[in-house]
A and B are shown apart, each in its own frame.
Chain A
Amino acid sequence: MTYRAKFEQELEDLKLELIKMGDIVISNINDGLKSFLSMDITLAEMTIKKDKMVNDYEKTIEKKCLQIILKEQPVAKDLRLITSVLKMITDLERIGDHAADISKMTIFMQKSLKPYVIPHMKLMTEASQKMIKKALDSFVKQDLGLANAVINDDDEVDAYFEEIKGIVAEAIRHNEIDADYALYMMMVAKYLERISDHAVNIGEWVIFSVLGEHNHNVIF
């Protein structure tokens, strides 16, 4: 016999909503970068619009969490789970913002991208997206190993960022690109790097939801 079937259902629904929100965020990152790389302003504007969906999701999930806390008075692992969801949606929302920021860069830059950083950026994006996916996956599965992997993966993205930084610096030194162009490039790279940082945060909240520890501090 199952106890608190409704509560269990609500928790499942919560996880599902979170995954859906994550999917939109990931596709927004994809579209954002695509628009940036191909100077597709229409796509960029669409992506910015899609970010509103992410914000709506955040609000919806927030509300649901509060409702569950109010009605079910969760303790122990249930309380940790809901708390971590509340924390994770903030990170996801920030990731969504960064995807929209990348799209904004497309609109600001107004010119084509030189080809040399494109492969790195693509790789970097892929790596960040993978991190987000992994983080959410680890949450659904409550898998500590996967969550720790996400935290470790951050080094890879940081390495890409360093590489892009090096290439851009080299190009500036050789006067191959103008200053604002270089700045836009760096900002997009920085956004991608921030996205991976938020993915790390999500991973950390997953660890909290399992262990009650956040950055090795026991908080619940």
Chain B
Amino acid sequence: MSKNKKRMIKDGILQGITYLSSTVSLITLLAIVLFVFGRGYKLLNFDLIVENFESQGYVADLFDDFIFCDCPATIDLSDDFYYSEKWGIALSDGTDLLGKNIIEIEYIHPDSPFKMVQDKGIGEEPIILRTDYDIIRIAFEDYPTALSRYGAKNMIDSLNANNSIREIEFRTKGGGVRGSILTTIYLIGMTLMIALPIGVGAAIYLNEYAPINRITKLMRSLIETLTGVPSIIYGLMGLAIFVPLTVNLTSATGGNLISGALTLAVILMPVIIRTTEESLKVVPDEYRQASLAVGANKTQTTFKVVLPSALPGILTATLLAIGRIIGESAALVFAIGTSIKDDVSLTGKSTTLAVHIWAMMTDEPANIELSATIAIIIIFIVVILNIIIKIISSRYLKQKMGASS
């Protein structure tokens, strides 16, 4: 009886531990997600994704034949906005991604003379003013220039007091992560293109062909060791080998996408080899035997039966690899560099989203909000890629292996 009770208590404790640990991990995960979303959701918008990081400044003038709007706003404007009926434009005070005071365009009436302005640059191209642009200053003839640091109210008042302007300077918002997203995607594609064939090939050799001897054993333990090496060491290697290599072979002048992809490929190969080999190992030996028994040779068996059966495992390896690529920062700081670029080229410097975060956080002051927003984007990309790969693989499996009902 007491023995029974003892056992029940023991069981209860063990069970409790499992409940506790799963609860703790769930709460931790939730906390991270909540933190990221809580901090980042404010800045999250579509523009952030498609915008350049560098903001573009313009100096423009109104068209000569403009007419005043003299029209009330067609939508309800917030109390913080200052609206000029004369000019049909609403402005507000704000701060940019780096925390400086700016004046944001909040609303432009369709009939407003600011709807379309003329670039004072070479082409005198018309520019459509957008509500997300910041106005830096508006200069008038014989009147103090309305600067952004005087605030939106001052600017509206100045506008209302004048009947024309000399010029208006404004800029796009900037701070977007389009370049970093592109870099990340390029890097994923290039790294996988290098690492997957080599990794899967090596795994096939190790599992299917390699004789069981000391050399292969040594190889395996080396590969296992490599998975545990900190990635910054790979980054150093990338800096020492791949960067000079690419600089010599291409037009690159420093760290670049190719050297980054090569470095990441080296990091990922052990992971891909291990995961693929595990998935090859669990392909039932019966498949191989059945294949050989119908007169297939070793190569046919490996590539027609074993490899397709191991495909889910290889996909897992791929997903892991993608996660690693997106998450990697330390190695890439060396292998590509940290300069955030909008024009992404294979031989130029640029950053992935993770390094972008790193760059934001090493800025003074650290920009936690934007970092969290980028983190949301990263999570989003990972989810999307996962879904795409799942869809592709299920399509492939269906086509190759028939529908399993």
Indicate yes or no for A touching B, C-beta below 8 A.
no
Which B residues are within 8 Å of any A CB, using their own CB? none
